[in-house]
Every structure is written in structure tokens, then in C-alpha cells.
Amino acid sequence: MNSKKSLLHGIGNQKETRLYYDSWADNYDETLKTWNYRAPQKSVKILKKYTSIKSGLILDLACGTGLFGEEILKYFDSFKIDGSDISSISLKIAHKKNIYRKLFKNNFEDKMYLKINYDIVSLIGAMTYCKKHKKLFNNVSKYLNKGGVFIFTQRTDLWDKLDFNQKLIDISKNYNLIYKSKPIDYLPKNKDFTKNVKIRIVLIQKK
């Protein structure tokens, strides 16, 4: 598995993405730890600082093996978390951690027909693979309660290439921008990302 190439340049279609993460799932947590991946921890700190939401329901899109779910429950243990991911093997690992109320197999770009709404929706580390941003933001708005928040990360190289500043303006009818971080380290101990590619963490609130 050439994870560095895939992380930098994308993986391909949904099937290729699913197979890729299925093959990586057993070693995913350890690999990210060696690369000093801290986006889940930093995202939780932003939620703590910039929102007043202390309990409720969270939808963790592209939850993978549950790294963000683990982190958020360290600080918000009164939350209930549902997760979705395209990789069934990643979901099995997340299930074993006993942190999610429900888990769904789903590509985060595809609409889920849910019977409840959420107070927080997260997409940590996966915006890289999004091809239809307008559709995603519209779907997330439908998942959120009024006043609920969407927290996500985006790589700085793709932020500029895709003009994410304009995308935030485009969605301002439905969302208020609460916080946009400066570029921060993404995978500082992966040589391909140390200097060239960082991430921003963004927090927006449904109007």
C-alpha cells in the first residue's frame, strides 16, 4: 500500500477508496500516531473554545476507526455519537471501541436519510476526497439542528486550489462562519507533508 501517494494525490473512485481504507484499517491508528496526526485533538479544542454546546448528538462523517470519536468523548462525555464511513473494516474497528451509538456504512458525500438531527457534524481529515462541496454543505445543513455546528478540516493546498474562501462566502446563506484556523501541521512526521501541506480547521454554524 502506497499510503503517502494516495494521501497526497487522492485515491480514485468510491470503490478504490473503500478498498484502500479497508486494507489500511488494521494499521491506521498506529500509522497516524507515528505521523503525529493531531487534527482530532485540535478540532475538539476548537469546539470547546468556540461553541456553547455541551451535550447532545454528534454525527461523525468519515469516522474511520474512530479517532475523532475517541477524542471528543474525553471532553464531552455527555454526547452521543453516530458515525459513518465508506470502509466496513474501519467501522468494525470503530465498533470495538464502544464509543459510537450507531454506525452506518456510507460515503460522506451521499445523502443519508436520517430520522433525527444533530447538534454537531464533523468531517475530520476527509474533505480532501470531496468532489461535490455544494452538495455536501447542503446535506450537512439538513442533518443539523438550527444553531448546530459543522466542523471540518481541509488541506491548505486544496484550500487555495479550490478557493475555499469563496466557498465559505457561497454558503453564507445557510451558515455563519464561527472560526477558521491559520494553517497548522497536518502530518508533521510524514516527510511528504512536513513543510508543504498543512490544514485549516473550520467551524460553521447553521442559521
C-alpha closest to that of 90 among 105, 78, 107: 105
Contact assessment for residue 150 and residue 180, using Cβ atoms and an 8 Å cutoff: no
DSSP state of 116: S
Start-end of H helices in the chain: 3-9, 14-34, 39-50, 67-75, 88-96, 133-143, 156-161, 164-170
Model-level pTM? 0.93
DSSP state of 85: E
Give, in order, the Cα–Cα distances in Å from 92 to each of 8, 28, 29, 79, 181. Answer: 26, 13, 13, 21, 32
In which domain, by residue range, is 173 found?
3-206
Q: What per-residue confidence (pLDDT) applies to 1?
A: 45
Q: In the chain, what is the straight-line distance between the N-terminal and C-terminal CA atoms, in Å?
A: 43
Q: What per-residue confidence (pLDDT) applies to 192?
A: 77
- Residue carrying the nine cell digits 470503490: 15
Q: How many angstroms separate the most distant Cα atoms in the chain?
A: 44
| Residue 47: CATH number of its domain | 3.40.50.150
Residue 201 grid coordinates: 480547521
**pLDDT string in tens for the chain (207-residue length):** 444 444 666 666 778 888 888 889 999 999 999 999 999 999 999 999 999 998 999 999 999 999 999 999 998 889 999 999 999 999 999 999 999 999 999 999 888 888 899 999 999 999 988 989 999 999 999 999 999 999 999 999 999 999 999 999 999 999 999 999 999 999 999 887 777 789 999 999 999
C-alpha closest to that of 123 among 142, 103, 109: 109
- Sign of the alpha-carbon dihedral angle for 128, 130, 133, 137: negative
Number of domains in the chain: 1
Q: What per-residue confidence (pLDDT) applies to 5?
A: 45
